[in-house]
Amino acid sequence: MTLISLWYGQNHGLLPMAASNDAGEVDELFNFMMTIATGLFLLVEGVLVYSLFKFRRQKGDTTDGPPIEGNVPLEIVWTAIPTVIVFILSIYSFEIYNRMGGLDPMAAGDPGPQMMAHSHHHSELVALDTSQQNIALGLGISPESQQGINPLEIKVNGIQYAWVFTYPESGVISGEIHVPVNRPVALNMTAGDVIHAFWLPEFRIKQDVIPGRETNLVFTANQVGQYPVICAELCGAYHGGMKTQLYVQTEEEYAQWIQDNTFAMKESGESVAMNPVSNSDTEFLEPYAQDMGVDADTLAQLKP
């Protein structure tokens, strides 16, 4: 039974690929829990199934079973074992969470709830005053990589039903997110209408994106590739269609992408219809409407 649990804990094949070191650690935690859970599952189900066969009442037997009302040592054991298990799990989870940067006090400057500008200009929301340092909401920089590396900052804005990414360094605004591999990326996120949640399944990280507040996620991708970005908080009818892609690229490819987009934006002034500052939600969404299954009515409702 122990062997089965150990084997299954490692070989359940239930998780998608892991594209960051943190994700690997979360997976180890999950495997550990899966091992214990499998063991307990087999134990209890085994007892039940065995009892159903072994202790079935014989026909015509109307006597009772043995009058056992309890067994103190046994009860102490099965109180102590779960206690120890959850204690270990708590410490282990705490460790991992801390390593992921969850307890980084400087992670964010969440200034508490703020008056949300009553407009559709998302840029104003992103530009909240973040100078007050406050407790982090989300994941910060992991304590090990704190010194030296300066993370790439990207502002994320969630609106029904799209993500908008702004690169403050270059001014690039995009509906997809591109990041260089092996460099910490710090997302400063807020929402323009209702609550959304930014989820990267391959990175095992998620954080709600809240209107009038800033939340954070820091991650370091270690595998070049293309990964889904999914909204994981009910945000309206097309919540299921609110997704985009994360491209993890090599330094060079990433630099190239930034350059192309900066260039494109300068040239056309209006950019590739990617600049929500000068567009209303409706205009911004139109190009995506097809993919998302948003119909004309929904778009019409969005028109101010």
Partner 1 sequence: MSTTLERNAPISPPPPEQNEHPQRKWYEYFGFSTDHKVIGIQYLVTAFFFYFIGGALAEVMRTELSTPDPDFVQPEFYNQLLTMHGTIMLFLWIIPAGAAFANYLIPLMIGAEDMAFPRLNGVAFWMIPPGGILLMSSFFNGAPQAGWTSYPPLSLVSGKSGEEIWILSILILGTSSMLGAFNFVTTILLMRMPDMDIHSMPLFCWSMLATSGLIIIGTPVLGAALILLSFDLIAGTAFFNPAGGGDPIVYQHMFWFYSHPAVYIMILPFFGAISEILPVHARKPIFGYRAIAYSSLAISFLGLIVWAHHMFSSGTPGWLRMFFMATTMIIAVPTGIKVFSWCATIWGGKLSLNSAFIFAVGFLSSFLIGGLSGVMLASVPFDIHVHDTYFIVAHFHYVLFGGSVFGLFAAVYHWFPKMTGRMVNETLGQIHFVMTFIGFNITFLPMHQLGLQGMNRRIALYDPQFQFLNMVCTVGSYILALSTFPFIINIIWSLYKGEKAGRNPWRALTLEWQTASPPIIENFEEEPVLWAGPYDYGIDTESIDGDEDVEDMLAAVTSESQ
- Shortest distance (Å) from residue 275 CB to partner 1: 24
Nearer to Cu ion, 163 or 254 (CB): 163
Nearer to Cu ion, 167 or 198 (CB): 198
Q: How many residues bind partner 1 (CB under 8 A)?
A: 93
User: Binding partner of residue 304 among partner 1, Cu ion, none, CB under 5 to 8 Å per kind?
Assistant: none
281: CB partners within 8 A, 6+ apart: 120, 159, 160, 302
Looking at residue 69, its amino acid is E
Give residues 119-148 in contact with partner 1 (rule: CB under 8 A): 135-137
What residues does 177 pair with on adjacent strands?
Answer: 246
If binding is defined by CB under 8 A, does position 234 make contact with partner 1? yes
Tokens of 83: 């206690």
Rounded to a whole number, what is the distance in angstroms from the first to the last CA of the chain?
63
If binding is defined by CB under 8 A, does position 277 make contact with partner 1? no
φ and ψ at 140, to 5 degrees? -105, -155
Question: Contact residues for Cu ion (CB under 5 A)?
Answer: 196, 231, 235, 239, 242
What residues does 219 pair with on adjacent strands?
Answer: 185
In terms of C-beta density within 10 A (0-12 exposed, 13-18 middle, 19 or more buried), how is residue 118 classed?
exposed
Give the separation between CA 181 and CA 195, rounded to whole angstroms.
29
- Shortest distance (Å) from residue 26 CB to partner 1: 5
Give residues 39-98 in contact with partner 1 (rule: CB under 8 A): 40-41, 44-45, 47-48, 51-52, 55-58, 61-71, 74-75, 78-79, 82-83, 86-87, 89-90, 92-94, 96-97
